[in-house]
């Protein structure tokens, strides 16, 4: 048995053990969390013959043009036809996580030796928050798997130039897009990397055409049901809500989680009325709120990269909460005039064991962030290889798309798609600091 197969089955076995312990202690109903209910409602409606839609209180279903279809269809199928379906779905996600672990190892091996690549794969598989995400009824595990497959086959194409690798890369990119719309603009990274490598338009255009063909059925379906060819109508939903809230709260140093402080203000309503599209919203932020937009983006980025996410493990009932935990224990707290009182209240909300776990998590991700910056800069400035460039551009894209659209609502879950890449960068940073980086196998692609 090859090492990759051994790694797959080892990770799968440990994932199933963790799942069994989780379900045995908390019960399978705890696998439903946060946005899980949205995916479940849509999935059930699909198999009730209502199409891709949301049930409403009066019994009339309305088309959902925001969520992507693949994961709701997946959970809806098992919910309809399979007993103990919550656990079954989580087992499938454990298998996806095990496959992702192998892909992380193979991609890390491009830059690192065997031991470091294996360590990266293990950390990216069993870091506490990542392990929990792999179990919950959420689409991120499959999103990660499809993105890694897109990346791996694109790297293979850059090395070999074979059409099959390019086709598989685009296919898995389409699956990633059908899972979550944030993957849509990864086609731009595909085009950029291919143009830098080949300096020819034929294959990039072929990739775009193939992706269009794969996405066309959903575009036509949206046109028939909702009157738009867009993959999702969540165009400015976050920009003109979460990001606008971050900008306004930064300007007046208000509590960004208490929207009642500004959501009915003339200024907020005026900007909302002028948010006609993504570029229009960005133009407003850059022209009218340049300072606040820069500060909120910088703080959101810092929050995204250093947020441990462990506070969600210790979530209290709404009556006991001091606003969302992560917003008061990450950099955005400093926007508030009363940040000392808010941070102190959030700390008082948790016991010493919970605070210790959060502290350890923050220290971990603080150093991962610093080391990953070292590793990423090294790849850009010294190796100058297309494989390194692809990873850096991917990380920057996810960071930019997440922070600019979500503002101070960012959390560790939104960082999940780039966690393995950040850990790869951090491992390179560790080796650079120790003076041991360089004796690794040749990259898959290069200039």
Backbone angles phi, psi at 161, to 5 degrees: 70, 15
pLDDT at position 386: 86
Output the pLDDT for position 440: 47
Q: How far apart are CA 227 and CA 225, in angstroms?
A: 6
What is the per-residue pLDDT for 242?
Answer: 87
Phi then psi for residue 62, to 5 deg, are: -115, 140
Q: Output the pLDDT for position 58.
A: 60
pLDDT one digit per residue (tens) for the chain, 447 residues:
899 999 999 999 999 999 999 999 999 999 998 889 889 989 998 998 888 888 765 667 778 888 999 999 999 999 999 889 999 999 999 999 999 999 999 999 999 999 999 999 999 999 999 999 999 999 999 999 999 999 999 999 998 888 999 999 999 999 999 999 999 999 999 999 999 887 778 889 999 999 999 999 999 988 888 788 888 876 566 788 889 999 999 999 988 878 788 888 899 999 988 987 788 889 999 999 999 999 999 999 999 999 998 887 887 776 666 665 556 788 998 888 888 888 888 888 888 999 999 999 999 999 999 999 999 999 988 756 789 999 999 999 999 999 998 899 888 999 999 999 999 999 999 999 887 666 544 444 444
377 in helix, strand or coil? helix
Query: Do 445 and 162 meet the contact criterion of CB atoms below 8 Å apart?
Result: no
- C-alpha to C-alpha distance for 351 and 338, rounded to whole angstroms: 22
Domain ranges of the chain: 3-233, 235-447
Nearest to 150 by CA among 128, 127, 174, 119: 174
Which residues have a Cβ under 8 Å from the Cβ of 214 and sit 6 or more positions away?
A: 170, 171, 174
What pLDDT was estimated at residue 246? Answer: 92
């Amino acid at each position: 048995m090859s090492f990759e197969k051994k790694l797959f089955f080892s990770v799968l076995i440990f994932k199933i053990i963790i799942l069994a312990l989780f379900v045995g202690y908390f019960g399978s109903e705890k696998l439903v969390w946060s946005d899980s209910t949205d995916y479940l409602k849509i999935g059930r409606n699909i198999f009730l013959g209502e199409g891709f839609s949301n049930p409403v209180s009066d019994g009339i279903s309305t088309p959902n043009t925001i969520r992507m279809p693949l994961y709701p269809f997946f959970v809806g199928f098992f919910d309809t036809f399979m007993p103990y379906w919550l656990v079954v779905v989580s087992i499938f996600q454990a298998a996806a996580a095990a496959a992702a672990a192998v892909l992380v190892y193979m991609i890390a091996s491009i830059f690192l030796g065997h031991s470091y690549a294996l360590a990266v794969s293990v950390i990216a598989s069993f870091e506490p928050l990542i392990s929990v995400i792999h179990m919950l009824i959420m689409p991120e595990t499959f999103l990660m798997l499809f993105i890694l497959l897109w990346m791996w086959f694109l790297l293979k194409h850059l090395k070999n130039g074979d059409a099959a690798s390019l086709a598989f890369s685009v296919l898995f990119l389409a699956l990633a897009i059908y899972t979550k719309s944030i993957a849509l603009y990864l086609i731009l990274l595909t085009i950029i990397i291919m143009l830098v490598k080949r300096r020819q338009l034929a294959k990039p255009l072929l990739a775009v055409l193939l992706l269009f063909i794969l996405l066309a059925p959903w575009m036509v379906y949206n046109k028939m049901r909702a009157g738009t060819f867009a993959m999702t109508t969540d165009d400015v939903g976050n920009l003109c809500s979460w990001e606008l809230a971050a900008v306004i709260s930064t300007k007046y140093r208000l509590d960004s989680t208490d929207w009642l402080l500004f959501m009915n203000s003339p200024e907020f309503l005026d900007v909302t009325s002028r948010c006609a599209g993504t570029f229009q919203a960005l133009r407003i932020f850059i022209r009218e709120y340049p300072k606040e937009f820069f500060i909120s983006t910088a703080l959101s980025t810092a929050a995204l990269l250093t947020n441990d996410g462990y506070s969600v493990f210790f979530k209290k009932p709404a009556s006991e909460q001091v606003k969302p935990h992560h917003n008061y224990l990450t950099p955005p707290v400093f926007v508030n005039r009363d940040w000392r009182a808010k941070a102190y209240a959030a700390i008082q909300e948790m016991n010493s064991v919970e605070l210790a776990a959060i502290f350890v998590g923050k220290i971990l991700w603080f150093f991962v962030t610093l080391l990953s910056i070292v590793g990423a800069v090294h790849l850009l400035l010294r190796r100058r290889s297309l494989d390194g460039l692809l990873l850096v551009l991917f990380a920057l894209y996810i960071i930019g798309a997440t922070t600019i659209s979500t503002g101070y609502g960012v959390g560790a879950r939104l960082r999940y798609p780039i966690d393995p890449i950040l850990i790869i960068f951090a491992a390179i940073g560790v080796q650079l600091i120790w003076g041991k980086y360089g004796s690794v196998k040749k990259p898959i692609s290069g200039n």
